[in-house]
């Protein structure tokens, strides 16, 4: 309460009591548990926002969240690819414990029903929960029938509502699911999906390159949907196939309905963008809105939709008591399989900011992603925090926020960092594991990257990204050398042994 509100409340108790119905409703909203919205962008790099130094694209709506909230400069998703990061976000458990890796579009559900999850914990605490957007955590039991009830899925692990892109934008099946059903499916045109070989007679990128809007590499040259060849084969489901251009708007519309329906209870919305992952097909109204071609235009679209979502919460009188966490599931990639001119049009924009590497990489740009916490009622605006934080901690931090006591085995790798997330302290984590085809550990200014058997040459040759993998141990002092240019492992053998032992211990916990 500010002084005006205090004055108002002390002098007008009687008046409020006489207006109890209306005032009671206002009080209830103010005192009740906050709504929680996690906005998770796909493949957005540390430097991809104007508030983190982007050139070539402006993100005024996201910048506003940062300006009126906290911008974290050393926050990390759990891994340098999508599935493991999302697994950790929802379970509060490191993804290496589950061997979580990028999943195909027909993979079974990775999180077993019964596993405590962020949404199931919030359900227990009286929240209504929804996931809207990219899932990529598997669906079904391993032999999913896309024409029937597609389950288990989000509804079986803690979400009350789901509206899903099943895997990635570049993987079949290219259909949207609402709860257990494929939306708009004509039962006379059933869907078959395969990652083993061709099904049906639909054109593919390999056979029909003349039908493509973008050229693609071999892995992305299977079934063509909406003029784009994808990874994997599908046939049928023609009426249900998505138009990439309209997905963010459909997501926004579903988010508004979810908010409408649940405005009287606290809610948790996991809003998982498809942008700015490939294929990048922003709606026409965003064409040319950046100087970077479709990758930049997709960032503009993401920013616009974020603004619309925030405005909607505001129009409903809900924004002040909503905690919004905005971030990304892994670092940036420019060329991820399609000839969309993202590389040619990049200019001097640095998608990973000053950091080395990118998506797939063990260097900092792999997991150090722009992260913003915003909550008008609680978070003082205009803050920048350099505390070391991990998205894996959102589970325990949010649990603390809603007074949920963690049970044994619940969110095992998640630490309560609520004070840091709310900006009332700047401590952050003492240590944090980063994952990217190897494991690294951060401790204060130090970062140790474990040696691997091979140096991940494909990341450089196929993606033009420095992998950060090496057959030798690596040790960096990020305070003096944030770009990870000077490997200090050989001159600090004791520290290497110590950090390696620490990592092993965490692995064996």
Give the interface with ligand NG6 as residue ranges (CB under 6 A): 42-43, 81-82, 102, 136, 168, 170, 219, 277-278, 330, 336-337, 462
Question: What residue 168 binds from ligand NG6, Ca ion, none (CB within 5 to 8 A, per partner kind)?
Answer: ligand NG6
Distance CA 480, CA 459 (A): 27
Distance of closest approach, residue 337 Cβ to ligand NG6, in angstroms:
4
Q: For Ca ion, which is the closer residue by CB, 235 or 330? A: 330
Neighbouring CB atoms inside 10 A of 427's CB total: 12
Q: For ligand NG6, which is the closer residue by CB, 194 or 321? A: 194
DSSP-H helix ranges across 219-269: 247-261
Do the bridges between strand 35-41 and strand 267-272 make them parallel or antiparallel, or are there none, so unpaired? parallel
DSSP 18-80: HTHHHHHHHHHHHHSPPEEEEEEESS--TT-SGGGT-SS---HHHHHHHHTSEEESSEE-SBS
DSSP-H helix ranges across 165-207: none
Q: For ligand NG6, which is the closer residue by CB, 16 or 102? A: 102
- Bridge partners of 374, per DSSP, are 324
Q: Are 469 and 437 in contact (CB under 8 A)?
A: yes
Distance CA 446, CA 254 (A): 43
Question: What residue 428 binds from ligand NG6, Ca ion, none (CB within 5 to 8 A, per partner kind)?
Answer: none
Q: For Ca ion, which is the closer residue by CB, 132 or 319? A: 132
Contacts with Ca ion, 298-337, as mask; x by CB under 5 A: -------------------------------xx-------
Using rule CB under 5 A, residue 42 touches Ca ion? yes
Distance of closest approach, residue 326 Cβ to ligand NG6, in angstroms:
17
Residue indicated by tokens 């616009």: 304
Q: For ligand NG6, which is the closer residue by CB, 330 or 440? A: 330
Distance of closest approach, residue 334 Cβ to ligand NG6, in angstroms:
12
Rg of the Cα atoms in the chain: 23
Q: For Ca ion, which is the closer residue by CB, 69 or 337? A: 337
Distance of closest approach, residue 81 Cβ to Ca ion, in angstroms:
6
Distance of closest approach, residue 359 Cβ to Ca ion, in angstroms:
7
Distance of closest approach, residue 467 Cβ to Ca ion, in angstroms:
16
Distance CA 219, CA 205 (A): 10
Distance CA 250, CA 43 (A): 20
DSSP-H helix ranges across 92-180: 118-124
Distance of closest approach, residue 86 Cβ to Ca ion, in angstroms:
9
Contacts with Ca ion, 72-101, as mask; x by CB under 5 A: ----------x-------------------
Q: Nearest-CB residue to ligand NG6?
A: 82
Question: Under rule CB under 5 A, how many of the chain's residues touch Ca ion?
Answer: 5
Q: For ligand NG6, which is the closer residue by CB, 302 or 379? A: 302
Q: For Ca ion, which is the closer residue by CB, 164 or 313? A: 164
Query: DSSP state, 218?
Result: G
Distance of closest approach, residue 136 Cβ to ligand NG6, in angstroms:
6
Question: What residue 252 binds from Ca ion, ligand NG6, none (CB within 5 to 8 A, per partner kind)?
Answer: none
Q: Are 132 and 273 in contact (CB under 8 A)?
A: no
Distance of closest approach, residue 31 Cβ to ligand NG6, in angstroms:
39
Question: What residue 102 binds from Ca ion, ligand NG6, none (CB within 5 to 8 A, per partner kind)?
Answer: ligand NG6
For 254: left if phi > 0, alpha if psi spans -120 to 50, otherwise beta; the answer is alpha
Q: For ligand NG6, which is the closer residue by CB, 232 or 423? A: 232
Question: What residue 136 binds from ligand NG6, Ca ion, none (CB within 5 to 8 A, per partner kind)?
Answer: ligand NG6
List CB contacts of 324: < 8 A, sequence separation 6 or more.
Answer: 37, 38, 39, 65, 69, 310, 372, 373, 374, 375
Do the bridges between strand 474-477 and strand 446-449 make them parallel or antiparallel, or are there none, so unpaired? antiparallel
Distance CA 442, CA 67 (A): 28
Contacts with Ca ion, 399-428, as mask; x by CB under 5 A: ------------------------------
Distance CA 373, CA 306 (A): 14
Distance of closest approach, residue 205 Cβ to Ca ion, in angstroms:
22
Q: Which of 35, 39, 41, 43 binds Ca ion (CB under 5 A)?
A: 43
Q: For ligand NG6, which is the closer residue by CB, 462 or 500? A: 462
List CB contacts of 244: < 8 A, sequence separation 6 or more.
Answer: 169, 226, 228, 274, 279, 281
Distance of closest approach, residue 278 Cβ to ligand NG6, in angstroms:
6
Q: For Ca ion, which is the closer residue by CB, 278 or 324? A: 278
Q: For ligand NG6, which is the closer residue by CB, 116 or 153? A: 153
Distance of closest approach, residue 499 Cβ to Ca ion, in angstroms:
27
DSSP 146-158: TTS---SSGGGTT
Distance CA 352, CA 46 (A): 5
Question: What residue 219 binds from Ca ion, ligand NG6, none (CB within 5 to 8 A, per partner kind)?
Answer: ligand NG6
Distance CA 341, CA 361 (A): 22
Site residues for Ca ion per CB under 5 A: 42-43, 82, 329-330
């Amino acid at each position: 309460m500010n002084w005006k509100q205090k004055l108002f409340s002390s002098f007008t108790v009687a008046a409020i009591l006489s207006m109890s119905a209306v005032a009671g409703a206002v009080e209830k909203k103010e005192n009740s548990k906050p709504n929680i919205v996690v906005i998770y962008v796909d493949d957005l790099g540390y430097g991809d926002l104007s508030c983190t130094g982007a050139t070539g694209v402006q993100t005024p709506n996201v910048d506003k969240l940062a300006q009126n909230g906290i911008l974290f400069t050393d926050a990390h998703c759990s891994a340098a690819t999508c599935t493991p990061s999302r697994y950790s976000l929802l379970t509060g458990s490191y993804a290496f414990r589950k061997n979580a890796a990028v999943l195909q579009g027909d993979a079974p559900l990775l999180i077993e029903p019964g596993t405590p999850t962020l949404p199931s914990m919030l359900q227990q605490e009286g929240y209504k929960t929804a996931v809207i957007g990219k899932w990529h955590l598997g669906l079904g039991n391993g032999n999913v029938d896309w024409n029937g009830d597609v389950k288990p899925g989000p509804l079986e692990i803690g979400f009350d509502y789901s509206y899903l892109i099943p895997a990635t934008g570049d993987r079949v099946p290219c259909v949207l699911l609402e709860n257990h059903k494929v939306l708009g499916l004509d039962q006379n045109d059933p869907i078959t999906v395969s990652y083993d070989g061709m099904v049906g007679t639909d054109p593919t990128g390999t056979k029909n390159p003349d039908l493509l809007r973008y050229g693609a590499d071999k892995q992305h040259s299977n079934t063509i949907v909406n003029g784009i060849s994808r990874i994997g084969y599908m046939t049928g489901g023609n009426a249900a196939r998505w138009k990439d251009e309209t997905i963010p708007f459909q997501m926004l519309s579903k988010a508004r309905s979810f908010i409408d329906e649940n405005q009287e209870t606290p809610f948790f919305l996991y809003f998982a963008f498809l942008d700015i992952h490939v294929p990048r097909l922003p709606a026409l109204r965003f064409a040319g809105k950046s100087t970077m071609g479709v990758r930049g235009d997709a960032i503009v679209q993401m920013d616009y939709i974020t603004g619309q979502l925030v405005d909607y919460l505001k129009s409903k009188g809900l924004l002040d008591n909503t905690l919004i966490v905005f971030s990304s599931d892994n670092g940036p990639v420019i060329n991820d399989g399609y000839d969309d001119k993202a590389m040619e049009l990049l200019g001097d924009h640095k998608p990973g900011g000053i950091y080395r590497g990118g998506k797939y990489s063990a260097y900092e740009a792999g997991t150090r992603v722009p992260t913003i916490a915003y909550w008008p009622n609680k978070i003082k605006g205009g803050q920048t925090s350099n505390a070391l934080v991990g998205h894996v901690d959102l589970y325990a931090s949010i649990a603390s926020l809603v007074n949920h006591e963690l049970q044994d085995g619940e969110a095992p790798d998640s630490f309560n960092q609520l004070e840091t997330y709310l900006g009332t302290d700047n401590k952050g984590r003492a240590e944090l594991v980063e994952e990217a085809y190897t494991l690294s550990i951060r401790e204060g200014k130090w970062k140790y990257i474990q040696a691997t058997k091979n140096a991940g040459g494909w990341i450089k040759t196929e993606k033009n990204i420095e992998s950060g993998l090496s057959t030798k141990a690596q040790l960096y002092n990020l305070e003096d050398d944030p770009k990870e240019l000077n490997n200090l492992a050989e001159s600090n053998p004791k520290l290497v042994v110590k950090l390696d032992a620490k990592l092993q211990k965490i692995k064996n916990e």
